[in-house]
């Protein structure tokens, strides 16, 4: 009896992610949902620029690699040409909330029926640990070596809070994958996001508070502790918008 196997929607290519990085968990959850919904053949994924740039090698659906921050625009092009396919982007915080902020906001205003999987680890990972739009006040990074001074480097962006105010977004939730309970819940959030896309409700966005032990300079276990103590305090978990719940409430 098979009790555990790799989802079909993941290829056999080994992940390049660092030990303790939560990208791998989120990749698997997305793939499990694609398998369970039976949509691998009808799905197009958009990879970002950043640590998860090689996502195109890992997902078994058709994959396009977008310029930095432009995944929502690329996804718009795919979706408008193929309205009945499922389209998702997979983006980090620098990609989505710095260089691609305009694309993120406007894919929401248009209510594009796509799903954004947003990895927020509060740092630029691939380039070696520079300050991110979501780095916390006081956070030490390679380009804020004395800690992020918000008067000098600006304030962190709370993406879910911002996107929940945009008319056109259908579902916005912030989750974490730091423990089994949260992993299980995160998978349900992905399923809900994909389902709402299929029902053409508008943009769905799931933010994952994630770890970067390498660039945070912490062990994987301590990185999870830091995430719980610091990221969760600044970026509370929860559903920020759900138009189906609002419809039911009426």
Partner 1 sequence: MSKMLMKGNEAIAEAAIRAGCKLFFGYPITPQTELSEYMAKQMPKRGGLCLQAESEIAAINMVLGATASGARAITSSSSPGISLKSEGISYIAGSDLPCVIVNVQRGGPGLGGIQPAQSDYNQATKAPGHGDLHLIVLAPASVQEMASLTGLAFDLADQYRMPAMILADGALGQMMEPVDFEERTARELPEKTWACCGHGNKREHNIINSLYIQPNVLEDIVKERFKRYEEVEKNEVMYEEYMCDDADTVIVAYGITARIAKSAVKEARARGVKAGLFRCITLYPFPAKELERLSHKVKRFISVEMNMGQMVNDVKVATDCRVPVTHYGRTGGVIPTVKEITEEILRLSAKKEG
Please report, as ranges, the residues that interact with partner 1 according to CB under 8 A.
11, 40-44, 46-47, 53, 56-57, 59-67, 70, 73-82, 85, 102-103, 105-106
Helices 180-198, 23-37: inter-axial angle, 10-degree rounding: 50
Compute the least distance from the CB of residue 113 to partner 1, in Å: 14
Residue 189, token pair as written in the block: 């959030």
Residue 33, token pair as written in the block: 């949902």
Compute the least distance from the CB of residue 86 to partner 1, in Å: 8
| Closer to partner 1 by Cβ: residue 58 or 240 | 58
| Closer to partner 1 by Cβ: residue 80 or 184 | 80
**How far from 235 is each of 8, 51, 130, 146, 156, CA to CA, in Å?**
33, 21, 20, 22, 10
Max Cα-Cα span within the chain: 59
Compute the least distance from the CB of residue 56 to partner 1, in Å: 5
| Closer to partner 1 by Cβ: residue 11 or 130 | 11
| Closer to partner 1 by Cβ: residue 42 or 161 | 42
Residue 104, token pair as written in the block: 């993120």
Compute the least distance from the CB of residue 202 to partner 1, in Å: 16
| Closer to partner 1 by Cβ: residue 57 or 130 | 57
Cβ atoms within 10 Å of 127's Cβ, excluding its own? 14
Are the CB atoms for 186 and 26 separated by under 8 Å?
yes
Compute the least distance from the CB of residue 55 to partner 1, in Å: 10
Residue 165, token pair as written in the block: 């105010």
| 3-state SS class at 45 | strand
Q: What are the b/e assignments for 161-195, b being 16+ CB within 10 Å? A: ebbbebebbbbbbbbbbbeeebbeebbebbbbbbb
| Closer to partner 1 by Cβ: residue 76 or 144 | 76
Residue 112 has phi, psi (to 5 degrees) of -60, 135
Compute the least distance from the CB of residue 87 to partner 1, in Å: 9
């Amino acid at each position: 009896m098979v009790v555990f196997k790799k989802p079909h929607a993941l290829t056999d290519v080994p992940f390049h992610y660092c030990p303790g990085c939560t990208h791998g968990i989120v990749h698997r959850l997305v793939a499990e949902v694609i398998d369970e919904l039976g949509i691998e053949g009808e799905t197009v994924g958009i990879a970002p620029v950043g640590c998860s740039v090689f996502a195109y090698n890992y997902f078994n659906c058709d994959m396009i690699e977008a310029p930095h921050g432009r995944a929502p625009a690329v996804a718009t092009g795919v979706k408008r040409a193929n309205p009945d396919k499922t389209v998702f982007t997979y983006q980090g915080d620098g990609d989505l909330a710095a260089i691609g902020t305009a694309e993120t906001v406007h894919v929401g205003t248009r209510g594009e029926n796509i799903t954004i999987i947003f990895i927020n680890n509060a740092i630029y990972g691939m380039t070696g640990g520079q300050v991110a739009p979501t780095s916390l006040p006081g956070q030490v990074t390679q380009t804020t070596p004395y800690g992020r001074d918000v008067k000098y480097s600006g304030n962190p962006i709370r993406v879910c809070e911002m996107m929940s105010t945009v008319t056109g977004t259908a579902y916005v939730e912030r989750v974490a994958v730091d423990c089994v309970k949260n992993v299980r819940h995160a998978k349900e959030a992905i399923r809900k996001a994909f389902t709402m896309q299929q029902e053409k409700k508008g943009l769905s966005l799931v933010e994952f508070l994630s770890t970067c032990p390498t660039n945070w300079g912490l062990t994987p276990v301590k990185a999870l502790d830091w995430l719980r103590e610091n990221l969760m305090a600044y970026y509370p978990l929860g559903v920020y918008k759900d138009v189906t719940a609002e419809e039911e409430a009426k």
